[in-house]
Amino acid sequence: MERSRDSRPTDPAPDHVALIQAEWRRERPDVDVSPQAVIGRLHRLAGRLTEELCLVYGRYGLGEGEFDVLAALRRAGAPFERAPGELAAHTMVTTGAMTKRIDRLERAGLVTRRRSEADGRGRVVALTEAGRRLIDEAFTAHMRNEHRLLGLLTTEEAAALEGLLTTWQQRLDHLMDPAAKSG
């Protein structure tokens, strides 16, 4: 494969998605498979990126879910606490899944749970000092890793991709929002 001056491939061979598309075009020429060029690659890329991100989380004894909870608590600012429902919303998981994550983090001494002072029936989850130190260190490594991964693109490519993904996400969110459909 030929490479440009900055070590990026200039003439890539057909990838997995291109081969799948070719097979479908042969078997079902009546169906337009062009969306696979984007959707298929995004799907495969998401899996690869998740693998790369989880390697860093694992170095700190965390899974993706535990990292997300600790990060959501850290982003809350001092005193680094949120209600479990708020954590679920910030990490886009069910409250049941959130309970399991909090249980694991509490057993590890990274978070505590207490009754809410505002609502005696509610609970509050807070980072412990050990949890704060761990997420600060893990987040720094995580950002180094994201810079490494994004460094495979030029600055211009990364900016263009960010713009396209933002636009697509906003349009998809609008399409999926029931309030947007009725108004």
Are 82 and 147 members of one domain? yes
In 3-state terms, what secondary structure has residue 71? Answer: helix
Rg (CA), the chain: 21
Q: Is there a domain that residue 142 lies in? A: yes
Q: Is there a domain that residue 103 lies in? A: yes
Q: Is there a domain that residue 127 lies in? A: yes
How confident is the prediction for the chain on average, in pLDDT? Answer: 89
Are 69 and 134 members of one domain? yes
Q: Is there a domain that residue 1 lies in? A: no
2 confidence band (pLDDT: 50, 70, 90): very low
Q: Is there a domain that residue 180 lies in? A: no
Tokens 């997420």 belong to which residue? Answer: 135
Are 48 and 70 members of one domain? no
Closest CA to 126 of 137, 136, 115: 115
What number of CA atoms fall less than 13 Å from residue 56's CA on the CB side? 21
What's the number of domains the chain is made of? 2
Are 54 and 137 members of one domain? no
Residue 183 has pLDDT above 70, yes or no: no
Q: Which domain holds residue 132?
A: 61-173
At residue 146, what is the residue type? E
Are 82 and 131 members of one domain? yes
Q: Is there a domain that residue 36 lies in? A: yes
Q: Is there a domain that residue 5 lies in? A: no
State pLDDT tens for residues 18-59: 999 999 999 999 999 999 999 999 999 999 999 999 999 999
Q: What's 113's DSSP letter?
A: E
Are 167 and 114 members of one domain? yes
Are 45 and 66 members of one domain? no
Q: Is there a domain that residue 3 lies in? A: no
Closest CA to 34 of 20, 47, 45, 44: 20
State pLDDT tens for residues 74-118: 999 999 999 888 888 888 788 888 889 999 999 999 999 998 777
**Which one is predicted more confidently, 78 or 1?**
78
Tokens 């994201």 belong to which residue? Answer: 146
Angle at CA 20, nearest 5°, toward 17 and 25?
125
